[in-house]
Amino acid sequence: MAVELPDLLFASDALEPHISARTLEFHHGKHHKAYVDNANKLIADTRFENMPLENVIRQTAGDEARVGIFNNAAQAWNHAFYWQCLKPGGGGAPTGAIADKIEAEFGGYEQMMDEFKKAGATQFGSGWAWLVLEEGNVLRVHKTANADCPLVYGCKPLLTVDVWEHAYYLDYQNRRPDYLAVFVEKLINWEFVNAEFRQ
Amino acid sequence: MAHTKLTYPYKLPELGFDYAALEPSIDARTMDIHFNKHHGGYVNKLNAALEGRAELQRHDLVTLLGNLDAVPESIRQAVRNNGGGHLNHFLFWQILKPGGASAPQGELRRAIEGKLGSFDAFKEEFSQAAMNRFGSGWAWLVITAAGELKVISTPNQDAPSMTGDVPLLGLDVWEHAYYLHYQNRRDEYVANFWNVVNWDVVGHFFEQHR
């Protein structure tokens, strides 16, 4: 099946002033679109062409000969996931089942978020920070480089923040920690995180 | 114009030209933030990592990066990232210094043509290396330990010195190097880079290391 570019679930200026319309338009309309287009080009006429995107990612991970497919497929998936983690008026303390899980495993929302922000700030170069469920239903913070994705490691992602510079440079330049703080305080879509957690 | 030996405590160098001097290829705001915040950040974090480490402070930076296995594991990644960041940017500003030849001259020209076919073929290979670097990193023209010219690419702030190569020309393709002006259009940034390379400086590095 063709890899698709999902529409944003909000207007491109809906996250202002935290993430500008200009950033979102480039990020979704250029970066994400390029990953989708490249992935489709690279899987055309291969055994990956009709495969669910998650399987393409798992089956090309670590394969030097298919690094182009992996990079573009994983970035297509990572970005589609990231958009769902964002919402206008989001952020702050979680509610619902995920709040109890965070409390039980991290001792509190703030401890978890300190670790999440630290993962994002210390991912050197390009990459992502994640909240994931590891096998055995264990809640953990991870960081991944470039296109790398927790699906590869048997984890279920619940939340992610993009720390490629293109995600924040027009708005925050070198101040990645400011972007991470705003993401946590103003933008996280906890309904989505809860829905993923319940699955 | 030699490759200067950099030693602890590391310092942000003099840029040697105005932030606006490379416009329109590289804009003044990008230069200011890139130099002061990004490069400055690497210098500060490198010094912090080496604080109190007399046995590491006495080595110059190329030696340190060429022997990362000898750096204690607790600070190895910090030295690699921030030491590479300092060394790479230190070279980058020099080869961008306004003035000088706009194409390689003399022995360097002959070496590029001999090894890589022609100056245009070299530019094509180097540009491809810059475009194909996925994520953050650099494209380089280096002299290998065997004395050969070669185009390579390194991820993140890894420096050619880590594998014994001597860099002559480098292009930063971290998004911070071009995003304010070019956004996702890395190809335009790479194309315009050729307008601002100081080939006299690159030629001096070649004379020094060949």
CATH number attached to the domain at A21-84: 1.10.287.990
Query: Does the pLDDT at position B172 exceed 50?
Result: yes
Query: CA nearest B26: which of B179, B198, B187?
Result: B179
Assign residue B122 the CATH number of its domain: 3.55.40.20
Per-residue confidence (pLDDT) for residue B1, from 0 to 100: 44
> Are residues B129 and B199 located together in one domain of the fold?
yes
* Average pLDDT of chain A to the nearest whole number: 97
pLDDT in tens, A16-36: 999 999 999 999 999 999 999
Question: Region B106-125: what's the mean pLDDT?
Answer: 96
Query: Does the pLDDT at position B2 exceed 70?
Result: no
Partners of residue B136 in chain A, C-beta under 8 Å: 125-126, 165
Q: CB B175 to CB A31 under 8 A? A: no
pLDDT in tens, A118-159: 999 999 999 999 999 999 999 999 999 999 999 999 999 999
CA closest to A72 among chain B residues: B134
pLDDT more than 70, % of chain B: 99
Scanning chain A, the segments in alpha helix (DSSP H) are 21-26, 33-43, 53-60, 67-84, 96-106, 109-122, 169-172, 176-182, 190-198
Q: CB A169 to CB B175 under 8 A? A: yes
* Average pLDDT of chain B to the nearest whole number: 96
Maximum distance among all Cα pairs of chain B, rounded to whole angstroms: 49
- What are phi and psi for residue A106, nearest 5 degrees? -115, -10
The number of beta carbons lying within 10 Å of the beta carbon of residue A62 is 11
pLDDT more than 90, % of chain B: 97
Per-residue confidence (pLDDT) for residue B209, from 0 to 100: 87
Q: Which is higher by pLDDT, A145 or A1? A: A145
Nearest by CB: A146 against B134, B157, B184: B134
What residue ranges do the domains of chain A occupy? Answer: 21-84, 96-198
> Are residues B131 and B197 located together in one domain of the fold?
yes
Question: Region B53-65: what's the mean pLDDT?
Answer: 96
pLDDT in tens, A50-80: 999 999 999 999 999 999 999 999 999 999 9
Confidence of residue B3 (pLDDT cuts 50, 70, 90): confident
Q: CB A174 to CB B136 under 8 A? A: no
Q: CB B136 to CB A165 under 8 A? A: yes
State the angle between helix axes of B40-50 and B73-95 in degrees (0 to 180), rounded to the nearest 10. 150
Starting at the edge strand that comes first in sequence, how are the strands of the sheet with A138-145 ordered? Answer: A138-145, A127-134, A156-162
Q: Is A84:A189 a contact under the CB 8 Å cutoff? A: yes
Confidence of residue A199 (pLDDT cuts 50, 70, 90): confident
Q: Residue B51 falls within a domain, yes or no?
A: yes
Per-residue confidence (pLDDT) for residue B86, from 0 to 100: 98
Q: Which of A169, A171, A179 to mutate to test the interface with B (most CBs of B within 10 A)?
A: A169
Partners of residue A147 in chain B, C-beta under 8 Å: 134-135
Partners of residue B37 in chain A, C-beta under 8 Å: 173-174
From B63's Cα to the closest Cα of chain A, the distance in A is 23
Partners of residue B135 in chain A, C-beta under 8 Å: 125-127, 145-147, 164
Q: How far is CA A94 from CA A110, A186, B65, in A?
A: 10, 12, 44
Q: CB B184 to CB A127 under 8 A? A: no
> Are residues B125 and B196 located together in one domain of the fold?
yes
Per-residue confidence (pLDDT) for residue B104, from 0 to 100: 97
What span, in angstroms and rounded, lies between the C-alpha atoms of B209 and B78?
Answer: 28
Count of CB pairs separated by less than 8 Å, A with B: 55
Per-residue confidence (pLDDT) for residue B4, from 0 to 100: 80
Enter the DSSP assignment of A173. T
Q: Name residue A129's amino acid.
A: A
What span, in angstroms and rounded, lies between the C-alpha atoms of A70 and A26?
Answer: 22
CATH number attached to the domain at A96-198: 3.55.40.20
Nearest by CB: B33 against A126, A147, A173: A173
Query: Does the pLDDT at position A171 exceed 50?
Result: yes
The radius of gyration of chain B from alpha carbons, rounded to an integer in Å, stands at 17
> Are residues B178 and B197 located together in one domain of the fold?
yes
Q: Residue B22 falls within a domain, yes or no?
A: no
Question: Region B113-119: what's the mean pLDDT?
Answer: 94
Burial of B139 (0-12, 13-18, 19+ CB in 10 A): buried
- What are phi and psi for residue B41, nearest 5 degrees? -65, -40
Per-residue confidence (pLDDT) for residue A154, from 0 to 100: 95
Q: CB A165 to CB B179 under 8 A? A: yes
Q: CB A125 to CB B180 under 8 A? A: no
Domain with B35, as residue range(s), is 27-95
Query: CA nearest A163: which of A121, A115, A192?
Result: A121
Query: Does the pLDDT at position A15 exceed 90?
Result: yes
Query: Does the pLDDT at position B99 exceed 50?
Result: yes
Query: CA nearest A80: which of A13, A18, A151?
Result: A151
Query: Does the pLDDT at position B155 exceed 80?
Result: yes
Q: Residue B110 falls within a domain, yes or no?
A: yes
Q: How far is CA B53 from CA B47, B81, B151, in A?
A: 10, 17, 35
Q: CB A30 to CB B135 under 8 A? A: no
ipTM for this prediction:
0.96
CA closest to B35 among chain A residues: A174
What span, in angstroms and rounded, lies between the C-alpha atoms of B55 and A59?
Answer: 46
From B44's Cα to the closest Cα of chain A, the distance in A is 15
Per-residue confidence (pLDDT) for residue A109, from 0 to 100: 96
Q: CB B155 to CB A147 under 8 A? A: no
